[in-house]
Structure 1
Amino acid sequence: MKHGPFASAWRRFGRAVAIFNAATLLLAGQAMAIDADKVPAAKRSASGLHLTAVEAAEMKQGAPGKVLFIDIRTRAEAMYVGMATSVDYLVPFLEFPEVWEWSDASNEFVQLSNTHFVQDVESRLARVGLSKDDAVVLICRSGIRSNHAAGLLAQYGFKRAYTVIDGFEGDTAKDGERKGQRVVNGWKNANQPWSYKLLKDKMYLDDL
Structure 2
Amino acid sequence: MKTMRAFAGGLIVLLMACGNAHAFDAAAVPDIKRTKLGMYLSSQEAAKLVDQNTSKALFLDIRTPAEVAFLGMPAQADANVPYMKEPDFPAWDGAKATLKLELNPDFLPEVRHRLAAKGLKATDTIVLICRSGDRSAAAANLLAEAGFKNVYSVVDGYEGDLAKDGPKAGLRAVNGWKNAGLPWSYKLDKAKMYKLEN
TM-score band w.r.t. shorter chain: 0.7 to 0.9
Q: From 166, 170, 179, give the equivalent of 2:160.
A: 170
Alignment deviations for residues 82-136 of structure 1 (CA, whole Å, 9 cap, x no partner) = 0001000000000101221112232110111012311110111000000111100
Query: Which residue does the alignment assign to 1:107?
Result: 97
Say whether residues 1:142 and 2:132 are aligned partners: yes
Query: Which residue does the alignment assign to 2:30?
Result: 40
Residue correspondences, number: 180
1:189 alignment partner, SS class: coil
**Distance 1:151-1:32 versus aligned 2 partners, 3 A rule:** farther
Query: Which residue does the alignment assign to 1:65?
Result: 55
The question of whether the paired residues in 1 share the 8 Å contact of 2:43 and 2:177 is answered with: yes
1:57-136 map, 5 Å: 57-136=47-126
CA distance in 2, matches of 1:172, 1:103: 19
Instruction: Supply the RMSD in Å over aligned alpha carbons.
Output: 1.7
1:184 alignment partner, SS class: coil
1:138 alignment partner, SS class: strand
1:163 alignment partner, SS class: strand
Query: Which residue does the alignment assign to 1:159?
Result: 149
Alignment deviations for residues 1-49 of structure 1 (CA, whole Å, 9 cap, x no partner) = xxxxxxxxxxxxxxxxxxxx9xx95xxxx79422322211111111210
Of structures 1 and 2, the larger Rg is shown by: 2
Give the superposition deviation at 1:192. Answer: 0.3
CA distance in 2, matches of 1:183, 1:105: 23
Amino acid at match of 2:158: F
TM-score by structure 2 length? 0.86
TM-score by structure 1 length? 0.82
The question of whether the paired residues in 2 share the 8 Å contact of 1:95 and 1:114 is answered with: yes
The question of whether the paired residues in 2 share the 8 Å contact of 1:46 and 1:148 is answered with: no
**Distance 1:135-1:119 versus aligned 2 partners, 3 A rule:** same
Say whether residues 1:185 and 2:175 are aligned partners: yes
Q: State percent identity of aligned pairs.
A: 48
CA distance in 1, matches of 2:23, 2:142: 18
Is there any run of 5+ residues in structure 1 with no aligned partner, and where? 1-20
